[in-house]
Structure 1
Amino acid sequence: MQPTPRTTRLAEVPSPHRTTSIRFHKLAALAALPLSLVGCRHPGFPETPAGYREYAYVSNGGTNTVSVLDLVYLRSDRTLQVGSQPSALLANPVRNEIYVVNTQSGSISVIDALANNVVATIPVHRMPVSIDVDPTGHRAFVSNSGSNSISVLDLDQRREIAEVPAEQPGKAHLSPDSRSLVVPSQASGSVSIFAVGAIPQPGVLSSKEVPLSRRAHFTGCPGADSTVILPDSSKAFVACSSAHQVMALNLAAANASWSARQDPSLTTDRLLTMVEVGSTPIHLALKPDGGEVFVSNMNSDSISEIATQTNDVGGTYMIGTKPVSGIVSEDNSRLFVSNSGDDSIGLYSIDDGKLVSSLHTGSGPSSLAFSADEHLLLAVDAHSGDVSVIRTLSKLGPNLFTILPAGSGPNAIVTKVVSRQPRV
Structure 2
Amino acid sequence: MMRRKINWLLTAVQIGLLTWSGTTLAADQVYVANEGADTVSVLDAASLKTLTNVHVGKMPHNVQVSPDGKLVWVTNNGEPDHAADVSAHKGMAQGDHDAMGKPGAIWAIDTATNAVVAKVPVGMHPAHVVVSPDGRLAYVTNGGDNTVTVIDTAARSHVATIPVGQFPHGLRFSPDGKEVYVANLKGGTVSVIDTASQKEVAQVPVGKGPAQTGFTPDGRLAFASLSGENAIAVIDPGTRKVIRKVAVGTVPIQLYATPDSRTLVVANQGTRKKPGSTVSLIDLERFKVAKTVVTGAGAHGVTVDREGRYAYVTNMYANSVSVLDVKDRKVTKTVPVGKVPNGISVTP
TM class by shorter-chain length? Answer: 0.7 to 0.9
* Structure 2 residue 35 is matched with structure 1 residue 86: no
Question: Counterpart of 2:94?
Answer: none
Question: Counterpart of 2:139?
Answer: 141
Question: Counterpart of 1:328?
Answer: 257
* Structure 2 residue 16 is matched with structure 1 residue 4: yes
Amino acid at match of 1:98: V
Q: What is the aligned counterpart of 1:286 among 212, 215, 219? A: 215
Question: Counterpart of 2:332?
Answer: 401
The structure having more radius of gyration, on CA atoms, is: 1
Contact 2:40 2:53 in 1 (8 A): yes
Identity between Structure 1 and Structure 2 (%): 27
What are the residue-to-residue correspondences of 1:1-400 with 2, within 5 Å?
Answer: 1=9, 2=12, 3-4=15-16, 6=18, 48-52=21-25, 53-105=27-79, 106-146=104-144, 150-158=148-156, 160-162=157-159, 164=161, 166=163, 170-171=168-169, 186=185, 196=195, 214=199, 216=201, 238=204, 245-246=205-206, 279-309=208-238, 315-341=244-270, 342-393=276-327, 397-400=328-331
Deviation at 1:69, TM superposition (A): 0.8
Secondary structure in 1 aligned to 2:16?
coil
Question: 315-324 vs 49-58, which deviates more?
Answer: 315-324
Deviation at 1:374, TM superposition (A): 1.8
Deviation at 1:144, TM superposition (A): 4.1
Distance of aligned partners of 1:401 and 1:366 in 2 relative to their CA distance in 1, 3 Å threshold: same
Secondary structure in 2 aligned to 1:343?
strand
Contact 1:388 1:403 in 2 (8 A): yes
Question: Counterpart of 2:91?
Answer: none
Secondary structure in 2 aligned to 1:332?
coil
Structure 2 gaps of 5+ residues are 1-8, 80-103, 271-275
Distance of aligned partners of 1:292 and 1:383 in 2 relative to their CA distance in 1, 3 Å threshold: same
Question: Counterpart of 2:344?
Answer: 413
Distance of aligned partners of 1:401 and 1:412 in 2 relative to their CA distance in 1, 3 Å threshold: same
Secondary structure in 2 aligned to 1:407?
coil
Contact 2:190 2:210 in 1 (8 A): no
Distance of aligned partners of 1:294 and 1:49 in 2 relative to their CA distance in 1, 3 Å threshold: same
Deviation at 1:102, TM superposition (A): 1.2
C-alpha distance after superposition, 1:151-201 (max 9, x if no partner): 44332233x24454636773465555555566665567777666656xxxx
Distance of aligned partners of 1:115 and 1:354 in 2 relative to their CA distance in 1, 3 Å threshold: same
Counterparts of 1:189 and 1:142, CA distance in 2: 19
Deviation at 1:93, TM superposition (A): 1.2
Counterparts of 1:140 and 1:189, CA distance in 2: 24
TM-score normalized by the length of structure 2: 0.73
Question: Counterpart of 1:268?
Answer: none
Structure 1 gaps of 5+ residues are 8-46, 198-211, 219-237, 239-244, 247-276, 418-424
Counterparts of 1:145 and 1:301, CA distance in 2: 22
Distance of aligned partners of 1:163 and 1:362 in 2 relative to their CA distance in 1, 3 Å threshold: same
CA RMSD of superposed structures (Å): 3.3
